């Protein structure tokens, strides 16, 4: 993210729907040989209270391969914050790219289960009417 000892960061607060599940994704790598073992922390936080809703860390000991990082959190107010911070760097910081915050979609299995449950309830209701 930055050169050694400069402590770069990315911070953004956006309007969201309270109670909705949001997903943060981004790619990170040690883009140069002297950025190996550099580290970042990342978090989703409530934009009103600054309460951390989800957090993670990333260190790349080998470098050269972009790895996708991901967090999910339920918005507790109408504001959701994203913070990605360099926590250590030997000489060069980590590379960060493709930062994205979006509504998390349900897992396909959960969608299928929900659909099956709705169909079962409709079928049971229909059978009761015809008896």
Q: From 88, 85, 98, select the one nearest 61 (Cα to Cα).
A: 88
Domains of the chain, first to last: 9-106 (2.60.120.260)
3-class SS of residue 131: coil
Report the share of the chain in percent with pLDDT over 90: 46
pTM: 0.73
3-class SS of residue 125: helix
Whole-number Cα distances in Å, 75 to 23, 32, 56, 68, 80: 10, 36, 17, 22, 6
Residues recorded for the chain: 131
What are 68-126's pLDDT values in tens digits?
999 999 999 999 999 999 887 766 677 889 999 999 976 565 556 667 777 776 776 66
């Amino acid at each position: 993210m930055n050169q050694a000892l400069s402590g770069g960061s990315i911070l953004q607060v956006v309007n969201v729907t309270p109670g909705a599940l949001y997903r943060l994704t981004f790619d990170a790598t040690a883009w140069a040989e002297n950025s190996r073992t550099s580290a970042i922390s990342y978090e989703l936080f409530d934009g009103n209270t600054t309460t951390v809703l989800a957090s993670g860390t990333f260190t790349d000991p080998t470098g050269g391969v972009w790895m996708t990082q991901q967090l999910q959190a339920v918005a507790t107010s109408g504001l959701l914050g994203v913070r990605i911070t360099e926590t250590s760097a030997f000489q060069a910081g980590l590379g960060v790219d493709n930062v994205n915050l979006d509504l998390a979609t349900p897992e396909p299995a959960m969608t299928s289960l929900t659909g099956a449950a709705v169909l079962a309830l409709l079928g049971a209701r229909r059978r009761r009417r015809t008896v």
